């Protein structure tokens, strides 16, 4: 009976924490059907006089650009960034996990040390570099770091996962005539699906929600992602229509929610297994 009571209390605690975490999203959803007066004039969750045109008006956007343009820009920004991040992180992580070369430990320590640098420290050097390269106000400012393996968190994740795979598999593949690259593609990568999916989810959500870097490197409104598009809607009118902003906020988080629940199984497995072996 004591064990059963503890189990019930644990489930009740988890349900309470879940409600606390999901409540802001539920409030945001219902607030998108309220007027400004009702949003700021009452604490009720459900709208008393629902307004159903907030999604239509919010989708129209501001000026000559609709919210659909910002949504499309986000996909153009996020998808190549995620793909390039996965390719570069897998290759570099495979190199650190399976090969020993002069300076191996020093380079790995330097790579890990960059995880301690806050983003504000590298913004100015990157801005100067991108300015000299002539890639400012383009998505290349996101593609280049992804292609050049500038995300040590994902490299470390892949290294930890590859170290958890027995080396005997590499030797078996070598006996079958596979070179190092073929071993990675045909043997290790299929076993690393969970870790790769975890990295893809993290990078997708982080890039999709990135406001600071987009604000620094993207200047043209026609290239704004959803994070900047939502912020611009606050500056375009004297009185903000909060129900429209909340409605577009709901629309902007739907792709991330769909991605997470689609790959939830691999995400949990990847997080659980990436730190097994140091």
Query: Which pair of structure tokens corresponds to residue 117?
Result: 């640098």
DSSP 8-state assignment for residue 276? S
User: Is residue 96 assigned to a domain?
Assistant: yes
> Distance (Å, rounded) from C-alpha 90 to C-alpha 98?
12
The CATH number assigned to the domain holding 81 equals 1.10.3720.10
Number of structural domains found in the chain: 1
User: Is residue 188 assigned to a domain?
Assistant: yes
The more confidently predicted of residues 232 and 83 is 83
pLDDT(182) > 50: yes
User: Is residue 165 assigned to a domain?
Assistant: yes
pLDDT of residue 37: 87
pLDDT of residue 272: 54
What average pLDDT does range 247-257 have in this prediction? Answer: 92
Report residue 10's pLDDT band, with 50, 70 and 90 as the boundaries. very high
Query: Which pair of structure tokens corresponds to residue 111?
Result: 């790579």
Contact 77, 142 (CB under 8 A): yes
What average pLDDT does range 200-217 have in this prediction? Answer: 92
- Other Cβ atoms less than 10 A from the Cβ of 254: the count is 10
Contact 56, 243 (CB under 8 A): no
List residues bridging with 62 in a β-sheet.
65
User: Is residue 36 assigned to a domain?
Assistant: no
Structural domain containing residue 111:
62-241+261-273
User: Is residue 49 assigned to a domain?
Assistant: no
Query: Which pair of structure tokens corresponds to residue 159?
Result: 């290294």
Contact 255, 208 (CB under 8 A): yes
Report residue 76's pLDDT band, with 50, 70 and 90 as the boundaries. very high
User: Is residue 120 assigned to a domain?
Assistant: yes
Report residue 237's pLDDT band, with 50, 70 and 90 as the boundaries. low
Q: Which of 19, 156, 146 is nearest to 81 (CA)?
A: 146
pLDDT(13) > 70: yes
> Distance (Å, rounded) from C-alpha 245 to C-alpha 93?
41
What are the helix (H) ranges across the chain?
2-31, 36-41, 54-60, 67-98, 104-113, 119-133, 140-147, 152-163, 168-175, 180-183, 189-191, 193-209, 212-217, 226-235, 242-262, 264-273
pLDDT(270) > 60: no
pLDDT of residue 235: 64
pLDDT in tens, 114-161: 888 888 888 999 999 999 999 999 999 999 999 999 999 999 989 988
pLDDT(63) > 80: no
pLDDT in tens, 77-120: 999 999 999 999 999 999 999 988 888 889 999 998 988 888 88
Query: Which pair of structure tokens corresponds to residue 224?
Result: 């704004």
User: Is residue 24 assigned to a domain?
Assistant: no
Percentage of the residues of the chain whose pLDDT score is greater than 70:
94
Mean pLDDT rounded to a whole number for the chain: 87
User: Is residue 256 assigned to a domain?
Assistant: no
pLDDT in tens, 16-46: 999 999 999 999 999 999 988 888 888 888 8
Residues counted in the chain: 278
Whether the predicted model's global pTM rises above the 0.85 cut: yes
Report residue 209's pLDDT band, with 50, 70 and 90 as the boundaries. very high
């Amino acid at each position: 009976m004591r064990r059963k009571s503890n189990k019930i209390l644990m489930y009740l605690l988890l349900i309470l924490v879940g409600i606390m975490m999901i409540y802001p999203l539920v409030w945001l959803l219902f607030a998108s059907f309220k007027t400004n007066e009702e949003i700021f004039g009452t604490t009720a969750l459900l709208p008393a006089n629902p307004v159903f045109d907030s999604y239509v008006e919010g989708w129209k956007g501001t000026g000559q650009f609709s919210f659909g343009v910002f949504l499309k820009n986000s996909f153009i920004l996020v998808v190549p960034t995620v793909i390039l991040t996965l390719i570069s992180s897998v290759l570099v992580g495979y190199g650190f996990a399976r090969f020993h070369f002069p300076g191996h430990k020093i380079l790995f320590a330097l790579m890990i040390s960059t995880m301690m640098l806050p983003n504000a420290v590298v913004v100015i050097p990157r801005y100067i570099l991108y300015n000299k390269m002539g890639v400012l106000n383009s998505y290349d400012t996101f593609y280049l770091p992804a292609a050049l393996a500038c995300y040590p968190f994902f490299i470390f994740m892949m290294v930890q996962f590859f170290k958890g795979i027995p080396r005997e598999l590499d030797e078996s593949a070598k006996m079958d005539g596979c070179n190092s690259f073929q071993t990675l593609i045909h043997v290790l990568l299929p076993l690393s699906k969970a870790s790769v999916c975890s990295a893809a989810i993290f990078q997708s959500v982080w890039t999709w929600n990135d406001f600071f870097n987009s604000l620094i490197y993207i200047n043209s409104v026609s290239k704004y992602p959803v994070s900047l598009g939502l912020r611009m809607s606050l500056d375009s009118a004297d009185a903000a229509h909060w129900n429209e902003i909340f409605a577009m906020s709901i629309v902007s988080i739907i792709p991330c929610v769909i991605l997470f629940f689609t790959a939830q199984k691999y995400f949990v497995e990847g997080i659980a297994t990436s730190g097994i072996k140091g």
